[in-house]
Amino acid sequence: MSDNCQCSIIGTGSYMPARVLTNHDLEKLVETSDEWITTRTGIKERRIAAPDETTSDMASEAARRALHTAGIKPEEVDLIIVATVTPDMFFPSTACFVQKKIGATNAVGFDISAACSGFLYALQTARHFLNGGPRKTALVIGAEKLSSLINWTDRNTCVLFGDGAGAAVIRWDDQPDAPGRVISSFMGTDGNLADLLKVPGGGTALPITAENVHLRPNTIHMEGRETFKHAVTRMCQASEKALKEAGLTAQDVKLVIPHQANARIISAIAERLGVPEERTFINLDKYGNTSAATIPVCLDEANRSGRIQRGDILLLVAFGGGFTWASSVIRW
């Protein structure tokens, strides 16, 4: 999607819960091995939120850190968008809880559900929102407590996911060369493939009842092999589209920040785009797949560690349940 939105990322933050769950810990829960998980996914460990720690708690901490980096007070925030598939509750939205917790008294807020593509969907939504109206500063957050949706007896899925939150402060400005400028974006959806990756129960289609609760319909169900193939194809396509819109090629990209589902997916994308693997950002070994949180957490880690410098071209690209996919090119 090409547009004239004039927005830049002016601050990043992230929060990961303290508890570490290693592959060796999982060996005690299901029939699996550190060797299988490492070679098939690249994941070594993941973070698990405390039982009383909510998605909005993690989102709020990531948001505070992003505001601090940006030098923005909570009252200056006009809009909060939280991308999540693990909201605190059906309603109010998680954004409402974040607004209260960080004291962003002047902000409006709502949630976006686009699974692992959620952060890039939210970024794109915020840009259009800021461009069209009086609101000029947004907090865009990806936050998940996926441990609450995991069937801990299903080895196909329980080894893949983790909890965490990342945030970015987005600001409208009319300086085309402002640092952190989002220069192009692309989004896609294919609802025909919804059954391949879903949490089928707990909504109106399949309410949880005393009769079905033992089947654990409120946990993640995934056709891993099919999802893998679509993830590679769509993330490559999305990358090429956003680069083309920006008038750039893969050779111009200093760092690819891909959704962190599987190291083999990231290698396949890098190879197809012709980007050397050292120009891809990976932290899934530490955190696993945190769905909407992966990209903002990576962006914050890349920013804080000095891995990215002002002027660098970044390519952010994601794929998730829906299926949904999205990309953004940023001049840092």
Residues that bind ligand ACO (CB under 6 A): 32, 36-37, 40-41, 115-116, 155-156, 159, 197, 224-225, 227-228, 231, 261-262, 265, 289, 291, 319-321
- Minimum CB separation from ligand ACO for residue 305, in Å? 25
Between residues 183 and 257, which has the closer beta carbon with respect to ligand ACO? 257
> What is the rounded radius of gyration, in angstroms, for the C-alpha atoms of the chain?
19
Between residues 79 and 141, which has the closer beta carbon with respect to ligand ACO? 141
Torsion of CA 75, 77, 78, 82, to 10 degrees: -130
- For the question of residue 289 being annotated catalytic, the response is yes
Between residues 136 and 155, which has the closer beta carbon with respect to ligand ACO? 155
Per 3-state DSSP, the chain is made up of helix, strand and coil in percentages (nearest 5) of 40, 25, 35
DSSP code per residue over 238-251 = HHHHHHHHHT--GG
Between residues 34 and 173, which has the closer beta carbon with respect to ligand ACO? 34
Q: Which of 221, 289, 298, 303 is catalytic?
A: 289
- For the question of residue 259 being annotated catalytic, the response is yes
- Minimum CB separation from ligand ACO for residue 304, in Å? 25
- Minimum CB separation from ligand ACO for residue 232, in Å? 9
* Tokens 């893949």, located at residue: 160
Let me know: does 301 contact 286? Beta carbons within 8 Å: no
Q: Which of 7, 221, 259, 283 is catalytic?
A: 259
DSSP code per residue over 282-311 = --HHHH-B-GGGHHHHHHHHHHHTT-S-TT
Between residues 135 and 155, which has the closer beta carbon with respect to ligand ACO? 155
- Minimum CB separation from ligand ACO for residue 141, in Å? 17
Cα–Cα dist 129/6, whole Å:
11
CB count within 10 Å of CB 27 equals 16
Between residues 103 and 188, which has the closer beta carbon with respect to ligand ACO? 188
Q: Which of 7, 116, 158, 236 is catalytic?
A: 116
* Tokens 């899925």, located at residue: 157
Residue (of 243, 235, 297) closest to 265 by Cα position: 235
Interhelix angle 55-70/94-102, nearest 10 degrees: 50
Alpha helices in the chain (DSSP H): 23-27, 34-41, 55-70, 94-102, 118-132, 155-158, 224-246, 263-273, 284-287, 294-304
- Minimum CB separation from ligand ACO for residue 219, in Å? 12
How far lies 14's CA from each of 147, 153, 176, 180, 300, in Å?
A: 18, 30, 27, 17, 6
* Residues taking part in catalysis: 116, 259, 289
